[in-house]
Amino acid sequence: MSYLYNVPNYTAGIDQVLVQTQESINIFIPMFLFFIWCMIFLGGIMAQKRRSVYIDSPVWATLSSIVTLIIALPLTLVVGLVQLEWLVIIVIMTMLSGLWLFLDKNRSEV
């Protein structure tokens, strides 16, 4: 059976499977982290919209960015999983969303 990419060695451990998949498909881990960000952001907005009419986008953007950063930081311990460029982008997005939260004119609780 021919594969589109090299099948990872599952006997080496889950971290090596992720590293080998990242080597074959370069956008795998960034898309995984983007998926986590989108699920938290959209899930929070939909749940808040169901409960009330008001949607607080800066809070959900900040919360999803912080959770994505918390998930990305341990992934940097495995060499070859998260590149420095992607980690810098995640940190910058977290700071920008936090800035958006604190500069939002509608927020009086923060």
Our count of domains for the chain comes to: 1
Per-residue tokens: 13: 């451990």
Angle between helices 14-24 and 28-51 (to 10 degrees): 100
pTM over 0.75: yes
Low-confidence ranges of the chain (pLDDT < 70): 1-3, 5, 106-110
Host domain of residue 72: 26-103
Q: Do the domain assignments include residue 40?
A: yes
The SS3 of residue 104 is coil
Q: Do the domain assignments include residue 108?
A: no
| pLDDT at residue 53 in the model | 85
| pLDDT at residue 99 in the model | 95
Q: What is the dihedral of CA 29, 31, 32, 34, to 10 degrees?
A: 120
- Report d(CA 57, CA 16) in Å as an integer: 37
C-alpha dist (Å) from residue 28 to 17, 49, 84: 12, 31, 15
